[in-house]
Amino acid sequence: MPLAIETHGLRKRFGSTDVLAGLDLAVPTGTVFALLGPNGAGKTTTINILTTLVRPESGTVRVAGFDVATAPTEVKQRIALTGQSAAVDQVLTGTENLVMMGRLSGLGRSAARDRAAELLERFELTDAARRRVATYSGGMRRRLDLALSLVVDVPILFLDEPTTGLDTRSRQELWNVIRSLRDAGTTVFLTTQYLEEADQLADRIAVLDRGRIAAEGTSDELKARIGGDVVELRDADGALLLELPTDGSIHGLRSAMDEVDRSPAAAITGAQVSIRRPSLDDVFLAITAGTAASAPELIESK
C-alpha cells in the first residue's frame, strides 16, 4: 500500500528541549492513523511540521509524495487541517461560512454555493444551514469546521484533537464522519486525548513518548504487548479496589486469585471479582511509565 505520509529521523528543538528526537512515521494511504502521547510529547508539533507550518531541524518529511521542505505549495494543495478549536465565524450562517471558504479557495459563486449545499448534506447540517453558527451546538460547530476543511477535495486530512470538549453523542457523530471519510479514500492523521477514540477509529496507532515512537501497531497488536487478562476487585459501588495483570494462562489466573484472597480488600462486604481484556489505557500507561506528564493526558471515554 502506498504511503500518504512518511518521515525519517525527524527532529525539532525548542530552546534546549528536543521535542522530536528522530521521529519515524509511515502512514498508508486511505487509513486512519492515530498519534497518542502524553502532554508535551510533540503531537501538535508533529502535525505542524507535516502541514508545513513549522520547519524541522533535520530529517525528511514527505506528504502526498512531496517533500515538505522543498515542495510546500504542492503539499498544501493536497491537505486540510482542523485544529483543536472550531475555526468558524459565529455571526455567519452555516451556508455563508462554507460559501465564503469556497470563494476564498477559488471557486466561482455558483460552484461555491453548490459545494456548500453538498457539504451541509454530507455533514447532516442542512436543517441548520440558514441559522447563525452562534446557535449551533458544540458538535455541530465541529462538523461545520470539518466541512470547511473539505471545501476543496484533498486526499489527506489532519485532525488535531478534533473531539476535545464534545459530549459523548457529539463525539460519536464526529466519529461516524471520520469513518465515512476514510471509507471514501481520505487518509486521516489524528491526534487525540481519548483512548477510546483511537481504539474505535484508527487502523494503526503510534504512541509518541520523549520525541520518539515508543510503540506502533493496530489496537489489538498493542494490547497483545501487555499480556493476558486483568483481574479486578471492585466494591459494591463499582470502585476499583485491586487490579492484577496476568499472562492469560490458567496458572496466571489462579495466582492472581490467590493474591486477591490474601488482600484485605477481599473482606469488604459486597466486593466482586471480574476479568477483563487489556485496554489501550493499560498499553499507554505501560509504554509511557516514568513520563511525569502522562497521567492526566489521556483519558478513556466512558
Quick count: other Cβ atoms within 10 Å of Cβ 58?
Answer: 11
How far CA 183 is from CA of 120, 163, 176, 251, 289, in Å, comes to 19, 20, 10, 43, 35
92, pLDDT greater than 80: yes
What are the cell numbers at 171? 463525539
Tens-place pLDDT, residues 224-266: 776 667 888 898 888 888 888 777 778 888 888 888 888 988 8
**What is residue 109's predicted lDDT score, i.e. its pLDDT?**
94
Give the range among 114-123, 242-251, 289-298 with minimum mean pLDDT: 289-298
Cα 277–281–282 angle (5° rounding)?
A: 60
Quick count: other Cβ atoms within 10 Å of Cβ 239?
Answer: 9
90, pLDDT greater than 80: yes
Model confidence at 203, in pLDDT bands (50, 70, 90)? very high
Q: Where do we find the cell 459545494?
A: 115
Quick count: other Cβ atoms within 10 Å of Cβ 137?
Answer: 14
Tens-place pLDDT, residues 18-77: 899 999 999 999 999 999 988 778 898 999 999 999 999 999 999 999 999 999 999 999
How many angstroms separate the CA atoms of 34 and 199, rounded? 9
φ, ψ for residue 234, nearest 5 deg = -125, 155
Helix (H/G/I), strand (E/B), else coil: 47:
helix
Full set of structural domains in the chain with CATH: 3-78+154-223 (3.40.50.300), 228-277 (no CATH)
